[in-house]
């Protein structure tokens, strides 16, 4: 029997992506940095191969190959790929193929076109992670030893994000900013600079040591976490923001890596819940994007059991309450296709769940997100649908929506 149609509220998506427009750094960098700043060049690409988890790619450049628009920065050549600008292509065409801006759907890089595509998709507001800088800006940490240039590139991205990408959207495009990963004090300053103009989200790595950076247990990041705590800035961590996806072996099919990608988010959440940071910074909020949610109840059960039964030799992490106490209302999961997670929503925490469309990646449900969400929400009470589809995201990001 066909279920009755759900009155689905307009979606607030907490994980989408922007393909940076070709003019970004050449327009937003100070003049003295433009010659060395990121720029787009068209090159021929004969082939692209995945050569390791991350994923890491190898490119075969050939002037007679398929045209590709590439970001060039220092010694880095970043090839635009159809997999990160996939909307508008049939599923079988969403391949690891080079692409130009001319071939992309304009909503990938143009804010007005993005708003139009959001309207088609029943989406009111959207938080977008970067593409060329990678999910937490690690490009600017890895691609240059000139820290002044790297910092200026981060600042230019953030200025573009706030003023151009989000500026004329009426609050529908939600700013997500970057920080210089190589300096926690500079990162804290950038959080505060952007918070002063209304930004409430910052991208960060799920597992910093995978980037060659100090762990969250080291104390190194305390200035950054203090700034997020003081300003109400949510620490947003996308799967892959550690540049290393889980893998069982070097020769495992890449489908294995994709299937267990949530493992990094699970390890990261355990890190935070045992770290004591949630005690020291009582306003600190975390968000895990594209990790799905069905794994969360088991993790909470497991870490609480260890806190309860094995403190005599594991220690209690300095936690006066069980670790799950610091999860509720402060750590948010995000999903786009997790039926088990929806069935387990009360164990996940009905106030801890947000929704995403993943536009414009291969996993995106655009332009059918409304229909997908209605199927997922079948049998869920209206008040819980509201929380999952938009209410929790509004509260998490302190958005000026639905205020009575």
What tens digit of pLDDT does each residue of 270-328 get?
999 999 999 999 999 999 999 999 999 999 999 999 999 988 788 778 899 999 999 99
Side by side, the strands of the sheet bearing 286-289 are 173-174, 123-129, 11-17, 353-355, 331-335, 286-289, 234-238, 201-203
Question: Is pLDDT at 264 greater than 90 in this prediction?
Answer: yes
Question: Is pLDDT at 344 greater than 60 in this prediction?
Answer: yes
In the structure, what pLDDT confidence band is assigned to residue 262 with cuts at 50, 70 and 90?
A: confident
So what's the pLDDT on residue 242?
86
Question: Is pLDDT at 53 greater than 70 in this prediction?
Answer: no
- Lookup result for tokens 């199927």: 375
Which domains does the chain show, CATH number per domain?
9-17+105-395 (3.20.20.140)
Average pLDDT over residues 189-208: 98
How is residue 65 written in tokens? 């190959």
Give the span between the Cα atoms of 46 and 226, in whole angstroms.
Answer: 47
How is residue 318 written in tokens? 């300095």
- Using alpha carbons only, give the angle 108, 44, 26 rounded to the nearest 5 degrees: 50
What tens digit of pLDDT does each residue of 345-386 get?
999 999 999 999 999 999 999 999 999 999 999 999 999 999
User: What mean pLDDT is reported for the chain?
Assistant: 94
Question: Is pLDDT at 4 greater than 60 in this prediction?
Answer: no
Question: CA nearest 368: which of 2, 88, 79, 64?
Answer: 88
How is residue 92 written in tokens? 């079988």
Question: CA nearest 37: which of 155, 161, 175, 174?
Answer: 155
Q: Is 308 helix (H, G, I), strand (E, B) or coil?
A: helix
């Amino acid at each position: 029997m066909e279920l009755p149609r759900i009155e689905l509220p307009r979606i607030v998506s907490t994980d989408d992506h922007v393909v940076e427009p070709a003019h970004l750094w050449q327009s937003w960098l100070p003049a003295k940095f433009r010659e060395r700043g990121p720029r787009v060049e068209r090159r021929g690409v004969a082939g692209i191969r995945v050569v390791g988890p991350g994923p890491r790619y190898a490119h075969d450049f050939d002037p007679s190959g398929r045209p590709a628009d590439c970001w060039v920065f220092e010694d880095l050549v970043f090839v635009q790929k159809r997999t990160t600008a996939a909307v508008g292509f049939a599923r079988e065409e969403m391949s690891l193929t080079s692409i130009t801006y001319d071939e992309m759907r304009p909503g990938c890089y143009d804010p007005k076109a993005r708003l139009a595509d959001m309207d088609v998709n029943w989406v009111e507001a959207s938080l977008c992670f970067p593409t060329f800088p990678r999910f937490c800006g690690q490009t600017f940490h890895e691609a240059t030893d000139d820290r002044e240039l790297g910092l200026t590139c981060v600042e230019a991205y953030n200025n573009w994000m706030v003023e151009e990408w989000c500026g004329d959207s009426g609050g529908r495009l939600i700013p997500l900013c970057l920080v210089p990963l190589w300096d926690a004090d500079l990162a804290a300053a950038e959080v505060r600079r952007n918070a002063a103009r209304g930004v409430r989200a910052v991208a960060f790595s799920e597992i910093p040591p995978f980037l060659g950076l100090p762990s969250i247990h080291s104390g190194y990041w305390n200035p950054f976490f203090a700034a997020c705590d003081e300003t109400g800035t949510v620490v947003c961590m996308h799967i892959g923001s550690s540049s290393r996806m889980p893998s069982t072996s070097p020769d495992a099919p890449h489908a294995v890596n994709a299937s267990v990608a949530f493992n990094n988010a699970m390890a990261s959440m355990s890190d935070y819940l045992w770290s004591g940071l949630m005690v020291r910074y009582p306003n600190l909020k975390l968000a895990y994007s594209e990790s799905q949610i069905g794994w969360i109840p088991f993790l909470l059960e497991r870490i609480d059991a260890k806190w309860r039964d094995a403190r005599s030799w594991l220690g209690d992490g300095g936690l006066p309450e069980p670790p799950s106490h610091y999860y509720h209302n402060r750590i948010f999961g995000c999903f786009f296709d997790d039926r088990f997670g929806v069935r387990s929503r009360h164990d996940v925490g009905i106030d801890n769940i947000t929704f995403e469309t993943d536009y414009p990646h291969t996993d995106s449900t655009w332009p059918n997100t409304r229909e997908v969400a209605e199927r997922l929400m079948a049998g869920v009470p209206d008040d819980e649908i509201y929380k999952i589809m938009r209410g929790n995201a509004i509260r998490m990001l302190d958005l000026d929506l639905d205020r009575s």
